Amino acid sequence: MKKDLYDNIRWPSPAGTSSEPKWTGCGFDVDGDLHDVLVTELGDSGWSDDLGDLLNMEVAPDRPLGLASRHHALNALEQAGSAGPGKVVLEIGSANGYMLKDISDRFPGTAVIGSDYAAAPLDVLAKRFQEIPLIQLDVVKSKLPNNFCDAIVMLNVLEHIEDDCGALQQICRMLKPGGLFVIEVPASPSLYDDFDRLVGHFRRYKMGDLVSKLEDSGFVIEQKSHLGFFAFPALWALIQAKKATKGAGDLSADEVLKSRIRVGRRNRAQEIVFSLETALRPYVPMPFGVRCIISARAEACNSPLV
């Protein structure tokens, strides 16, 4: 069934090719040559493999915030019935592949597609997930077809895109009517610091601003909340203290990264806090936090395929 779903997708043709790519089950047939990753049109971006390496230093599969993030996304997919046999789920910003693996494990039979702007992580993922189509994708310039997928998951990516509204319009276009969009972004502009600047964040979001941009792009909000509700006060105080004692840019890149890694590393206290937060979220409003999390439905999309 998954092969039929993949076969029904009109994959965008790379520049200079004469035929439509075909997914073979372990790569793309492009003009008779087999490619592990389908490369599509990319626009100008501040993203680079060096930035990806910096973020890889900060991300680990067992970090409590990351676990809570993926847990929320998986639950959103399950509650909406948007993953499983007969469903197509695209992840934008697959990076280390943790979410791809979680979706595949939790929802067998899902036609999962991975994507990223950077080539380097996709080359690594292609060796681990030979059965998953992988696309080098600039979402703002996406040539993936209209209404082709049931759900799109994008965790901590939109803040790296200068034209975030253009990206949201493309995402709405690619989703089937009523399709689910699960998005997570860094929250609270007051937390913007040297780490955000270093890893290429154009912004951190206020929940109201993100909701407005989603609604303007054709989405209807189903659920919204924050991650890191209990952690927010301590992180806010730490960042404000650092801003008060050191000017912007005074810390080296290495110092900034080590500082953030220490804050978010796995420990028993953080595990307890994030487990408690996850358990309480359905019942307790969480009006602020480290990250905004939203589930929305594509309802009124009007952006044509560019």
pLDDT in tens, 85-109: 999 999 999 989 999 999 999 999 9
The tokens describing 189, both together, are 């502009």
Q: Are 122 and 162 in contact (CB under 8 A)?
A: no
Q: Are 93 and 129 in contact (CB under 8 A)?
A: no
Torsion of CA 37, 42, 47, 50, to 10 degrees: 40
> Which pLDDT score, from 0 to 100, does residue 20 have?
93
pLDDT above 70 for 152:
yes
pLDDT above 80 for 246:
no
Kindly report the backbone phi and psi dihedral angles of residue 18, in degrees, each rounded to the nearest multiple of 5, phi listed first.
-110, -10
What is the residue-averaged pLDDT of the chain? 88
pLDDT above 60 for 248:
no
> Which pLDDT score, from 0 to 100, does residue 52 have?
60
Helices and strands: H and E segment counts in the chain? 11, 11
CA dist., res. 198 & res. 285, Å (int): 32
pLDDT above 90 for 199:
no
Give one DSSP letter per residue of 41-97, joined into a string: -----S--HHHHHHHHHH--TT-HHHHHHHHHHHHHHHHHT-SSTT-EEEEE--TTS
> Which pLDDT score, from 0 to 100, does residue 266 have?
59
Q: Are 261 and 57 in contact (CB under 8 A)?
A: yes
Using pLDDT thresholds of 50, 70 and 90, give the confidence band for residue 45: low
The topology (CATH level 3) of 2-298 is Rossmann fold (3.40.50)
The tokens describing 113, both together, are 């597609």
Pick the closest to residue 144 from 290, 9, 275, 299 (CA basis): 9
